[in-house]
């Protein structure tokens, strides 16, 4: 159930915290007082609305927080699956807006707004002012049938979606193969050329790196040789100034006096080691220089080989591994084209097998839908009669699609007759706006028992009704609220009188500014508000007495449920 709605800086509301109760929660108020702001704020928090439609121009921040209590097992599982803390059945959903950016949280964890929408579908069902218009679209009719059918049908639909994807994929492959049949010879020639070009290159993994290193060496051969000559002259030249001569002379000088001090002997030993290391270095350097060679033909061959590999990389892949993978894929395509008839036969068999399985599961779905539709029809008729459609007849008509889809092979439409002697006709061709609202309430009542959503919100479900019909609607909402929470905005005293908790939304001005406030009514305040709804501007004692009697009778009616 929705326990708390906390709103800050949303349109005319600076800050309001509404604590809802069990049963039927009613919100009333003058036209323009700001009732739509509350429903809009709910929508913003749950991801079906935007802050930009509500945040005042002079406000740099706004927020909406919802606190739910729920015992739903589905919600508990959902929290576990998404690593969101379970707060012993309490769910806190918040959405804040600051400096053009909004952030959503569930139990303190920052989440994408899509996850909020996903979770909210198990917590609350909001029937907006124009939602009844969805009854005008047959697509919604099929959705209601499926929702009523439950888990068994959903599993079949999931299987249907999987099979349809397989069938669509096989059909597309077959279509492409048949479309390309005329170009098969041309494609085979082109693919053969590509495979041969790669094969003729005789590529070897890692070859390009080896060649690049060798090319870099050969390209700098002269520079290398000049540097080596300088190094050789400095370390082991013919004169007395090279490093070898200097270190040898230094070693001799130190050796002559080393016996006079142990530390000198250690220094002489270190210098002797350095002399030996330099000797090893000059010997290795001399060997490297003697073996050094530059072959113009080798340089040309390495350069040409690199050009070939880079050319293939530009055509077939960034690395030799990519090129060879491309070659294997093209060889497979060539093999397929070489065995085209067998390939097409395989695709046809695959498509036919997928279609057969798909048609079978579509048949199962149709059967489940028709069974669901029979039960749904019975319950909707009972619910509509409770709403003063005394002579209503209602049926769900199915038509079979020519081809299977990911949702089966059915279209559904609601047929209704609301008066004796009139034939059944499509709902969208018969019902007025007010009648659609009542029909939607009847359907919501049936579906609520099925999906076990704990909180239902109705925004002006009373549009276009009055008198006895309004009384029937109020009784239906009161019945509905006995085993779940119902929150409703209404303009009708009949509905408001059924409230277990009654809130007044009112607008007031202060210091040249207009604000919307919400307060819970008690005792005589409830009677006064019912009298205002009944009597308008001038509230007489007779009107107040009527309001008090209406409330008394409503309480008696509720106690009988």
Q: How far apart are CA 17 and CA 64, in angstroms?
A: 10
**Domain count for the chain:** 2
Span 415-437, pLDDT tens digits = 999 888 889 998 878 767 667 77
Q: Which of 305, 321, 337 is the last residue of a domain?
A: 337
pLDDT for the residue 238: 67
Average pLDDT over residues 327-338: 87
CB 451 within 8 A of CB 384: no
397 vs 334, more confident: 397
Asked whether residue 205 falls in the same domain as residue 313, the answer is yes
Q: How far apart are CA 441 and CA 463, in angstroms?
A: 12
CB 464 within 8 A of CB 437: yes
- Residue 374, SS3 per DSSP: helix
Asked whether residue 107 falls in the same domain as residue 29, the answer is yes
**Average model confidence (pLDDT) for the chain?**
87
Asked whether residue 114 falls in the same domain as residue 211, the answer is no
Which of 237-251, 277-291, 317-331 bottoms out in mean pLDDT, i.e. has the lowest? 237-251
pLDDT band at 129 (very low <50, low <70, confident <90, very high): low
What is the CB-side half-sphere exposure of residue 254 using CA atoms within 13 A? 18
420 in a domain, yes or no? no
Q: In terms of Cα–Cα distance, which of 392, 362, 391, 396 is closest to 376?
A: 396
pLDDT for the residue 239: 66
Q: How far apart are CA 130 and CA 124, in angstroms?
A: 17
Asked whether the predicted pLDDT for residue 353 surpasses 70, the reply is yes
pLDDT band at 130 (very low <50, low <70, confident <90, very high): low
Q: How far apart are CA 325 and CA 332, in angstroms?
A: 11
Strands 109-111 and 101-106: antiparallel
pLDDT for the residue 393: 94
395 in a domain, yes or no? no
Asked whether residue 63 falls in the same domain as residue 194, the answer is no
Asked whether residue 202 falls in the same domain as residue 298, the answer is yes
Which of 173-187, 199-213, 298-312, 494-508 bottoms out in mean pLDDT, i.e. has the lowest? 173-187
Asked whether residue 114 falls in the same domain as residue 239, the answer is no
Asked whether residue 332 falls in the same domain as residue 207, the answer is yes
Asked whether residue 457 falls in the same domain as residue 536, the answer is yes
Q: How far apart are CA 213 and CA 33, in angstroms?
A: 80
Asked whether the predicted pLDDT for residue 323 surpasses 90, the reply is yes
Asked whether residue 117 falls in the same domain as residue 228, the answer is no
pLDDT band at 111 (very low <50, low <70, confident <90, very high): very high
CB 232 within 8 A of CB 282: yes
Q: Which of 315, 337, 359 is the last residue of a domain?
A: 337
Helix (H) or strand (E) holding 124: strand 124-127
pLDDT for the residue 496: 95
Average pLDDT over residues 312-341: 89
Q: How far apart are CA 153 and CA 160, in angstroms?
A: 10
Q: How far apart are CA 337 and CA 340, in angstroms?
A: 5
Asked whether residue 98 falls in the same domain as residue 223, the answer is no
Average pLDDT over residues 281-298: 82
501 in a domain, yes or no? yes
Average pLDDT over residues 442-448: 83
Which of 55-69, 114-128, 252-266 bottoms out in mean pLDDT, i.e. has the lowest? 252-266
Span 219-256, pLDDT tens digits = 887 888 888 888 888 888 766 668 877 878 787 778 88
Average pLDDT over residues 411-418: 92
Task: Report the range out of 221-235, 464-478, 516-530 with the highest average pLDDT.
Answer: 516-530
Asked whether residue 198 falls in the same domain as residue 278, the answer is yes
Asked whether the predicted pLDDT for residue 511 surpasses 90, the reply is no
CA dihedral in degrees (328, 329, 333, 339; nearest 10)? Answer: 50
Q: Which of 337, 352, 380 is the last residue of a domain?
A: 337
Share of the chain above pLDDT 90, in %: 47
Asked whether the predicted pLDDT for residue 465 surpasses 90, the reply is no
Asked whether the predicted pLDDT for residue 284 surpasses 90, the reply is no
pLDDT for the residue 440: 82
Q: In terms of Cα–Cα distance, which of 64, 22, 69, 29 is closest to 45?
A: 64
Q: How far apart are CA 232 and CA 429, in angstroms?
A: 103
Q: How far apart are CA 191 and CA 334, in angstroms?
A: 7
13 in a domain, yes or no? yes
pLDDT for the residue 552: 94
pLDDT for the residue 182: 62
pLDDT band at 131 (very low <50, low <70, confident <90, very high): low
What is the CB-side half-sphere exposure of residue 559 using CA atoms within 13 A? 6
Which of 78-92, 255-269, 406-420 bottoms out in mean pLDDT, i.e. has the lowest? 255-269
CA dihedral in degrees (222, 227, 230, 236; nearest 10)? Answer: -110
Task: Report the range out of 86-90, 333-337, 500-504 with the highest average pLDDT.
Answer: 500-504
Domain residues for 1?
A: 1-123+453-561
47 vs 243, more confident: 47
388 in a domain, yes or no? no
184 vs 480, more confident: 480
Average pLDDT over residues 324-333: 92
355 in a domain, yes or no? no
382 in a domain, yes or no? no
551 in a domain, yes or no? yes
Asked whether residue 203 falls in the same domain as residue 111, the answer is no
pLDDT for the residue 549: 94
């Amino acid at each position: 159930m929705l326990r708390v709605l906390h709103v800050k800086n949303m349109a005319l509301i600076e800050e309001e915290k509404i604590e809802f109760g069990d049963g039927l929660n009613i919100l009333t108020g003058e036209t323009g007082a700001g009732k739509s702001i509350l429903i809009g704020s709910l929508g913003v928090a749950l991801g079906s609305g935007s802050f930009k439609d509500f945040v005042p121009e002079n406000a740099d921040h706004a927020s909406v927080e919802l606190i739910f209590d729920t015992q739903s097992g589905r919600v508990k599982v959902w929290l576990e699956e998404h690593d969101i803390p379970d707060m012993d059945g309490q769910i806190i959903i918040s959405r804040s807006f600051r400096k053009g950016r909004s952030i959503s949280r569930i139990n303190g964890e920052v989440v994408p707004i899509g996850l909020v929408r996903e979770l909210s579908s198990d917590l609350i069902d909001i029937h907006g002012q124009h939602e009844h218009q969805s009854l005008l679209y047959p697509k919604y009719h099929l959705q209601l049938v499926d929702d009523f059918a439950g888990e068994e049908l959903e599993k079949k639909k999931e299987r249907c979606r999987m099979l349809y994807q397989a069938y669509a994929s096989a059909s597309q492959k077959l279509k492409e193969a048949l479309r390309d049949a005329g170009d098969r010879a041309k494609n085979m020639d082109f693919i053969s050329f590509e495979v041969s070009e790669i094969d003729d290159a005789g590529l070897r993994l890692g070859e390009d790196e080896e060649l690049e290193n060798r090319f870099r060496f050969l390209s700098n051969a002269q520079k290398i040789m000049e540097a080596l000559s300088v190094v050789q002259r400095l370390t082991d030249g013919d004169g007395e100034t090279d490093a070898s001569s200097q270190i040898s002379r230094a070693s001799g000088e130190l050796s002559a006096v080393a016996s006079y001090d142990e530390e000198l002997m250690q220094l002489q030993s270190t210098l002797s080691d350095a002399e030996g290391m330099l000797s090893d270095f000059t010997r290795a350097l001399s060997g490297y220089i003697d073996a050094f060679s530059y072959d113009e033909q080798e340089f040309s061959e390495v350069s040409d080989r690199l050009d070939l590999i880079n050319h293939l990389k530009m055509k077939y892949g960034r690395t030799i591994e990519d090129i060879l993978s491309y070659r294997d894929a093209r060889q497979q395509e060539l093999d397929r084209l070489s065995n085209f008839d067998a390939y097409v036969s395989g695709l046809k068999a695959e498509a036919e097998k997928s279609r057969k399985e798909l048609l079978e599961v579509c048949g199962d779905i149709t059967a489940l839908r028709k069974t669901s539709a029979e039960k749904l029809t019975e319950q909707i008729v009972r619910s509509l009669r409770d709403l003063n459609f005394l002579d209503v007849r209602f049926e769900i008509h199915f038509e079979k699609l020519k081809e299977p889809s990911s949702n089966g092979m059915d279209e559904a439409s609601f047929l209704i007759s609301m008066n004796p002697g009139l034939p059944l006709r499509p709902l969208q061709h018969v019902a007025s706006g007010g009648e659609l609202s009542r029909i939607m309430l009847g359907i919501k009542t049936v579906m609520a028992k099925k999906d076990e959503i704990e909180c239902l919100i109705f925004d002006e479900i009373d549009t276009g009704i009055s008198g006895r019909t309004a009384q029937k609607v109020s009784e239906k909402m009161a019945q509905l609220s006995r085993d779940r929470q119902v929150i409703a905005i209404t303009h009708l005293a009949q509905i408001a009188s059924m409230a277990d908790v009654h809130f007044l939304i009112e607008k007031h001005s202060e210091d040249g500014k207009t604000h919307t406030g919400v307060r819970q009514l008690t005792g005589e305040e409830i009677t006064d508000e019912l009298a205002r709804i009944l009597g308008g501007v001038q509230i007489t004692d007779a009107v107040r007495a009527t309001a008090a009697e209406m409330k008394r009778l409503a309480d008696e009616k509720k106690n009988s449920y």
